Amino acid sequence: MAEFTMELNEDQKQVQEWIHGFAADVIRPAAAEWDEREETPWPVIQEAAKVGIYSLDFYAQQFFDPTGLGIPMAMEELFWGDAGIALSIVGTGLAAIGVVANGTEEQIGTWIPQMYGTPDDVKVAAFCSSEPDAGSDVGSMRTRAVYDQAKDEWVLNGTKTWATNGGIANVHIVVAVVDPELGTKGHASFIVPPNTPGLSQGQKFKKHGIRASHTAEVVLEDVRVPGSCLLGGKEKLDERLARARERAEAGGGERVKNAAMATFEASRPAVGAMAVGTARAAYEVALDYAKTRTQFGRPIIDNQGVAFQLADMRTQIDAARLLVWRASWMAVAGKPFTSAEGSMSKLFASEVAKKVTAQAVQILGGNGFTREYPVERMHRDSAIYTIFEGTSEIQRLVIARTLSGMPIR
């Protein structure tokens, strides 16, 4: 187990500088264009693939960093560049996490490479959990998966929404209900291979922020996938469902995690790091502006009203990063989130991003309200962090229930 340290090692610093350079040289110059176009920035993703940032190997190296800081460090730098483009680059990772968290070694080896493709033919993947009537309330999920024993196939029907890369993905990971009587414990995850009949893209959403990231509905109509596409396999699923039924009959007992919750729990500190990156970017723009913008014969940073805002912004950003790093280190060290530290990091960092970007707009005044300056876009982008992968209200619920010992459903 790696000892916790506040200092990145030399290898991590080199990776950090490399990603920062890509974010500064490739992502930032393209940010405004793709935000306006509201389209997936395929050329930027391809550039990321060519240099090795958009690849299975890169994310594996960061994921298996023994300090746990590889992923949050990478996310912060990419999202410092631009949240919309960065999400297009890392969105496949959520689907990959779903496979790693719930799949067999064979499934991991077979499907994750297909999620990324090659530098000459890049692909993306989508994780499909939310539904029109089941966002935060995963217990209301209606997408069904029924096993056809004669053909060893699962038949999926339903509609998913808010799916990053939904409909344009090469591989979709779909969470569905296999036993409605068990509530969230009756869920399972399925791999939907490329070009599977019955899967189609529904509505593509026009969003307030992160507009370079494709978000859409995914419609499943009698989608048949082989039995081997059930993440973890049927034997493992049957055992888990049997235990859940026994506990239900016994009146509760030990909690059983469902597939979607396992994926989100693993990814929340990474989302916190994304928020830190956006907040840091806005803070740096505001700081530079305050140093050079003069009013009444002096730089506006000489005014306490501005200087104190910048002091608070920097303090909150550093505090958010520390919570993210703590949760990330705990996860890799095998330490349980006894106080919902993963949710804490995501909650605090996402709220900081919204506040800091709003303060940056205020410091830039009228300029901050225009698209000539990037803080306007950063402020719009920041709103998503308090919403996706569990709203701030859900994070508070998870934290409160963890502290009280109540079950997290």
Q: How many CB atoms lie within 10 A of CB 191?
A: 26
**Residue 114, CA distances (Å) to 48, 122, 126, 190 in order:** 17, 9, 12, 15
**Which residue do the tokens 């399972």 mark?**
188
Q: H or E segment at 177?
A: strand 171-177
Residue 231, token pair as written in the block:
């993440």
**Residue 267, CA distances (Å) to 38, 164, 304, 334 in order:** 25, 14, 38, 15
Q: CA 355, CA 351: separation in Å to the nearest integer? A: 6
Concatenating the DSSP letter of every residue in 236-251 gives HHHHHHHHHHHHHHTT
The closest of 195, 164, 190 to 89, measured between CA atoms, is: 164
**Which residue do the tokens 């990156």 mark?**
277
Q: How many CB atoms lie within 10 A of CB 266?
A: 18
Q: Helices 341-364 and 259-292 sit at what angle, rounded to 10 degrees?
A: 30
Q: CA 240, CA 257: separation in Å to the nearest integer? A: 10
Residue 248, token pair as written in the block:
């239900």
Q: For residues 377 and 32, is the Cβ–Cβ distance under 8 A?
A: yes
**Which residue do the tokens 């950063």 mark?**
378
Instruction: Look up 341 and say whether it is catalytic.
Output: no
In angstroms, what is the C-alpha Rg of the chain? 22
Q: CA 239, CA 241: separation in Å to the nearest integer? A: 6
Q: CA 38, CA 85: separation in Å to the nearest integer? A: 10
Q: CA 321, CA 302: separation in Å to the nearest integer? A: 27
The closest of 355, 356, 331, 357 to 344, measured between CA atoms, is: 331
Identified catalytic residue from 217, 376, 389, 393: 389
Tell me the one-letter amino acid at 41.
P
Residues designated as active site = 389
